Structure 1
């Protein structure tokens, strides 16, 4: 887990992958943990297919800066997002790549890179690409271990309601499990 007074996270991909929603959910879960949280978002020109990102800053202290400048954590669900944002990740940071869409992984030696075929896992084990963002949340939490699973699920329900609650719960658990398996291999 990354420690510090203020942690910056960027969730990135292309429109339609749910990265903004994922950042909102994760920010909400962090707030349930007692952190002060700022969440912002950016969309590309197109609603679907264009670049999009959601940012979360959290701290136990008051947050005075409203924009992520050097993320401690980057979730990249597309090659374009990875290429665009990896340069901003601070030394010692974590980059989580969806290897379903990302063929060229970051080569920086000063960051920790975790690659998993998140979209493929969502398709093969959940039956739909739609669950990639939820699976990603579980994966991030499996790497970071900074949110209680029940708070992450509660934050998800706060945003999407009880529809697909059982499937979303399964996707969170599956993402967490895949991260734990990857950590054991490293």
Structure 2
């Protein structure tokens, strides 16, 4: 899992907690700006996430997750900045985050990008198209409202539930459409 400096750290925090609660081994890479935005938006420091995931330095290209021989189920970058998205779409692997993403793509594992930007410009759209053409799932941070959320956590959990669904991870974060409570 990657966290970048785009707004939307709440989604990342909710996802890493949900994965932990579901017993899913999680490796986390956080960019420098991702740390700053997490602190600003969620008042959370990286030390607080150590109980939920193994945290890797974005500078450590020798980390296990930088190799295709290290088996993973997939990767999610949430939120994903346009800077990181562009680097990955153009094959730049100069950080652990972009290298790990490249590995997941080349190994044809599930790769989910949750961009948080508005509006998108043509460069953003072309980079997203390039990633989609390689098999990435582009899942903009656009929560639904049919579940009638009343708290911000319910909005975050909507997106987390959709991410978990894409990863084929069973959960009960929210009621599915048509289910009775």
Give the structure-1-normalised TM-score.
0.47
> Highest CA radius of gyration, 1 or 2?
2
Give the structure-2-normalised TM-score.
0.48
